[in-house]
Amino acid sequence: MGTLPRRLLFSLALLLLAAAAAPGAVAAGRLSTSYYRRSCPRVEQIVSDVVAAKQRANPSTAAGTLRLFFHDCFVSGCDASVLVSPLSSDQTPERAAEINLSLPGDAFDAVARAKTALEAACPGAVSCADILALAARDLVGILGGPRFPVFLGRRDARRSDARDVEGNLPRTNMSARAMAVLFARKGITPQEMVALAGAHTVGFSHCAEFAHRLYNYGGADGYDPSLNPAFARALQSSCTGYDKDPTISIFNDIVTPRDFDELYYKNLPRGLGLLASDAALWEYGPTRVFVQRYADNRTAFFEDFAKAMQKLGTVGVKTGRQGVVRRQCDILD
């Protein structure tokens, strides 16, 4: 019997790691789509109405809320610990960590507005963690993406510490292999990772996050040769002065930036992936196959994205006495 190729062995190891780290059946089993049936029966409608109004007023809300949900779940679990304001805590909370400083205010505001409406309708009933999960789902649907059931019953964290963040969130210059290991530690498979990366079909990134691909990269042109040349030159021009103005940003998907669709995946083989971590998904064989699958089939992407979001929403959840229901999302009880 011959030996298995190293790449196949690595892929099998990732699947085993993801299975071992997957959310426990007990924790996930305590979540339910009907959790608030008696305590707050209109919870989904209230959240939907609030975030829809917020999205109409501030179109960047959807992408920001998706990112906020991911950053919350991947650090200490889906427990609203990322929502705690540095102004309301004696310690330095997750929100103050360097990688979280660019999380958009509109996303925090969307959750806060929904919480205010729910406290008026159902005082002390609905957790901030559940509000964030519902808001992320609803906003994906508003942009044309899939709508899927959200399992509820999460409790909010009693603590939030910026020191927990480093090493738990992917960086924009990470290789696909390194990201796959990080995601596997959270119970997320490589295929689920690629499906979740499809959230980059909306939103934008600041030039500082990909400037290393544009300037002084080496070679005659100075940019990453995996970039489409016309795209690279346009980025070099658009990001001029980013070091003096850190707010300069570019849409993640330059083709259909406001639509939740499969164009993000179609862009990657064309050299139109903005972040190095996006381009890496196409360059790495074990993830390329899923990029191609979703580029060719929107239905497959939507179905797999919905399942991956449901799984993401169970990472590290706290239920029952493991957490609390905060009265204000940005203040620890």
Per the annotation, does 212 bind a ligand?
no
CA gap 162, 213 in Å, rounded: 28
Residue 19, judged by CB atoms within 10 A of its CB (0-12, 13-18, 19+), counts as: exposed
φ/ψ (deg, to 5) at 152? -120, 165
Per the annotation, does 256 bind a ligand?
yes
CA gap 188, 181 in Å, rounded: 9
Alpha-helix residue ranges (DSSP H) falling in 172-254: 176-185, 190-197, 229-238
- Beta-bridge partner residues of 250: 205
332, 41 contact by CB (below 8 A): no
Helix (H, G, I), strand (E, B) or coil at 215: coil
Per the annotation, does 72 bind a ligand?
yes
Per the annotation, does 253 bind a ligand?
yes
Buried b (16+ CB within 10 A) or exposed e, 71-86: bbbbbbbbbbbbbbbe
Q: Which residues contact 252 (CB under 8 A, 6 or more apart)?
A: 63, 200, 201, 202, 203, 204, 205, 264, 274, 275, 278
What residues are labeled active site?
71
CA gap 213, 160 in Å, rounded: 34
Closest by Cα among 179, 200, 173, 205 to 191: 179
φ/ψ (deg, to 5) at 204? -145, 165
CA gap 139, 63 in Å, rounded: 8
Beta strand spans in the chain (E): 204-206, 249-251
Per the annotation, does 255 bind a ligand?
no
Q: Between 105-121 and 61-76, two packed helices, what is the crossing angle to 10 degrees?
A: 80
Per the annotation, does 75 bind a ligand?
yes
Query: Which residues does the annotation place in the binding site?
Result: 72, 75, 77, 79, 81, 94, 170, 200-201, 253, 256, 261
Query: Which residues does the annotation place in the binding site for Ca(2+)?
Result: 72, 75, 77, 79, 81, 94, 201, 253, 256, 261
